[in-house]
Amino acid sequence: MKNKFKNKDFNLIVGLILAAVVIIPAVVGIFWTPYDTEAMSSSLKLSGSSLAHPMGCDNFGRDILSRVMSGSSTTLLIGLGTVLIGAVAGTLIGALTGYYGGLVDDIFMRFNDVMFSFPSLLLALVFVAVMGSGRMQLLFALGIAFIPSYVRIVRAEYVRARNLDYVKSAKLAGASDIRVMFVHILPNTVKVLINSVLIGFNNAVLAEAGLSFLGIGVQPPDASLGRMLADSQTYLFNRPGMAVAPGITLIVMVLGISLLGKSKLVTER
């Protein structure tokens, strides 16, 4: 019994529970919410919790639970979109530079190093300034800003793998470069990529929340966790639930994904 107890991966178990608590309502919120997230009612402004509105209503009389579900969906989709853009583009560039090396590596990596020298959030601010505010603009801005980190991670794996015996054997067997890169080497980078994607997702969620809080991300009347935190500033003392609900949701989402990233399933290679 003691061995079974010791072998349990608590990071995985707790991470899955915390992630599910937030992600399931967020997924449901893409298709359905208890109330229209933009429906206002003057009689319900800043009202407290009730059976009809478990989390109460905001300063416009909008149902907070519905907006938390919708806002979580927006934050979740932006986080997923960001890591998808960053990981796919970063994997392609990192595979090419790490596998071929030489002039291709020098050209791409010098440009990548310049971009990587700036914090991702600062790069995202530059891209948002160029493309404008909004959900899709923020998604692409963060996705582009996250590419350099994935390039470095994937390139390092390909540099390490390109001279290993299984790669040399594949080349001797007549496998093309494309097949060697994406059939033989890429599967061996999955564990590293999964961990990087989980970290990137958390960074993207926090970046979205930060930029939306500052008013240069998701714009009203669209809901996001960062946007809701910004809207709650004026009412922190007389209606703290406006900040508590999206704040706790954001913390639980990030903590759950962080624990998954530290689980044995991801870290053991």
Tell me which residue has tokens 């097949």: 179
In a domain, residue 26? The reply is no
Is pLDDT of 13 > 60? yes
State the CATH number of the domain containing residue 107: 1.10.3720.10
Q: Three-state SS across 8-75?
A: CCHHHHHHHHHHHHHHHHHHHHHHCCCCCCCCCCHHHCCCCCCCCCCCCECCCCCEHHHHHHHHHHHH
In a domain, residue 41? The reply is no
d(CA 232, CA 204): 22
pTM listed for this prediction: 0.86
In a domain, residue 122? The reply is yes
Residues 133-176 pLDDT 10s: 778 888 888 998 899 989 999 999 898 888 888 888 888 888 88
Looking at residue 35, what is its pLDDT?
Answer: 92
Per the structure, the complete domain to which residue 15 belongs is given by: 9-19+75-267
Percentage of the chain surpassing pLDDT 70? 96
In a domain, residue 43? The reply is no
Residues 18-31 pLDDT 10s: 999 999 999 999 99
In a domain, residue 66? The reply is no
Looking at residue 269, what is its pLDDT?
Answer: 55
Looking at residue 256, what is its pLDDT?
Answer: 92
Average per-residue pLDDT for the chain = 86
Is pLDDT of 218 > 90? no
Both structure tokens of 169: 């054997």
Q: Mean pLDDT throughout 86-114?
A: 87
In a domain, residue 65? The reply is no
In a domain, residue 248? The reply is yes
In a domain, residue 34? The reply is no
Residues 59-95 pLDDT 10s: 888 999 999 999 999 999 999 999 999 999 999 999 9
Domain count along the chain: 1
